[in-house]
Chains A and B, each alone.
Chain A
Amino acid sequence: MRNIDELITKLAQDTATVKRAPHPFMLSIEWMTVAVLYLAIALMISDVRHDLLVALHNFWFATEIAALGGIFISTSLSAALLSYPDLHQMRRIVFAPMVTFALFVVVMLLAWQADNPPAPLPVHSFACTLSITLVSLLPAAWMFHVMRKFASTHTHWAGGIAFLFSFSIGALWLRLYEQNDSITHVLEWHYLPMIAFGIIGMWMGKVVLKW
């Protein structure tokens, strides 16, 4: 007990004022703003798909982009809350990605059914996964760098959700850039790898976000 008293005295002497962490909603908005800017720059460099306006008139494409946007927003919010030890005492919002993800799965299944006759499969396959990964790596690294400054007590989930957020940027970029309407292709080479990266993110979170 004497050691604990000594430690408390020692810690109390460290009176340097600390910069308070921002509110998680502000943090989330900050992340989304930077991500949108990054996405805009990436699209400026790669150029958007030529038939984007026509594609946006397609109900299922527009819904898919909206659902992906939902994942983007909910994962950003969830990752921000997961950066705090007590989830900023807003536990319910942390589960928001589960809702948006379920919605996304329903949208994709309906879009898959509606894709009749199926749109022709593009000749490439793995190239899409690779492109999404390359575009997403920078936001992922940045997210982990920022999250390390906090004190997550759910490192697995924080890592997984941060990766999903980053990969949703990559997925959005490719859907707005690539002229491709094959749902089978996007499911197989865009979205399934995104889930796999989410799992990798959980492992990364455990290692990188340890404090």
Chain B
Amino acid sequence: MRLAIEGDSNAYATILRETSRFLKPFLAKRLSFTNEVDDLLQEILLSIHKARHTYDGNRPYKPWAYAIAKFRLHDYLRDHYADQLRHAMDLSEVENNLPEYVTETTMSYESISGEVDKLPEKQATILRLMHQDGYTAKEIAEKIGMNESAVKVAAHRAYKVLRKKLENGKPER
């Protein structure tokens, strides 16, 4: 870098290439898209070029380059999230654009509860313990003296029956 500051263009190109080589994984770890990494890397290289007079060659180069990279990365992320917030849609706007049938069903919570009551006693008990009282399959198995996998199978069968009933109750699209 010292040579680069003194005007050696080959040395400068080499140091910039080396810088982009070690900064790329640093940025890739923090950003999701390759094009973002490339864009930011270009910006960082420009910043390094602009700030090269603040490096004297008497101290390690990497901490200096990383300091600039972090500064630009934070800048980029701040702008990125501010942009996302600006373009974010209000939940009520999204709701207005949703088709009616997504949120509307002929089945109410009470009617689902009613359907659960119509299930065989064991299945109904398992579902109630799972979803009303918050027990795990293992705890239910201990409570009602069943095998854990048997509890899971019974719950699965009950879901299947309920799904069928719910689908039949769905309004026409």
Contact = CB atoms under 8 A, between A and B. Distances in A.
Q: Are A and B interaction partners?
A: yes
A15 B70 CA distance: 26
B141 interface: no
B104 to A, nearest CB: 50
A154 B59 CA distance: 19
A153 B71 contact: yes
Interface in A59-98: 83-89
Interface string A173-211: 000000000000000000000000000000000000001
Contacts of B68: 85, 151, 153
A67 to B, nearest CB: 32
Interface residues of B, number: 33
A12 B71 contact: no
A13 B9 contact: yes
Given A3-B38, A85-B54, A17 B6 contact: yes
Interface string B1-27: 000011111101100110010000000
A69 B23 CA distance: 42
A3 B46 CA distance: 13
Nearest to A154: B71
B60 A150 contact: no
Interface string A130-164: 00000000000000000000110100000000000
Contact of A86 (B8, B41, B50, B67): B67
A88 to B, nearest CB: 7
Contacts of B17: 8
Contacts of B170: none
B56 interface: yes
B52 interface: yes
B120 interface: no
A86 B38 contact: no
What class of interface size applies to chain A in its complex with B? 20 to 34
Contacts of B145: none
A86 B5 contact: no
- Main SS of the interface on chain A? loop
Contacts of A14: 49
Contacts of A17: 5-7
A211 to B, nearest CB: 7
B67 to A, nearest CB: 4
A74 B46 CA distance: 32
Given A1-B38, A4-B20, A16-B7, A151 B46 contact: no
Contact of B12 (A12, A87, A150, A153): A12
Interface string B34-56: 00001001100111011111101
B129 to A, nearest CB: 55
Contact of B38 (A4, A11, A15): A4
Contacts of A7: 42, 45-46
B63 interface: yes
A87 B64 CA distance: 9
A174 to B, nearest CB: 35
Contacts of A85: 51, 54, 64, 67-68, 71
Contacts of A89: 59-60, 63-64
Interface stretch (A18-26, A38-46, A106-114): A18-26
Interface of B: 5-10, 12-13, 16-17, 20, 38, 41-42, 45-47, 49-54, 56, 59-60, 63-64, 66-68, 70-71
Interface of A: 1, 3-4, 7-9, 11-21, 23, 83-89, 150-151, 153, 211
29 contacts: A3-B38, A4-B42, A4-B45, A7-B42, A7-B46, A8-B17, A11-B12, A11-B13, A11-B49, A12-B9, A12-B13, A12-B16, A15-B7, A18-B52, A18-B53, A19-B53, A20-B5, A20-B53, A21-B54, A21-B56, A84-B54, A85-B54, A150-B51, A151-B47, A151-B51, A153-B67, A211-B47, A211-B50, A211-B51
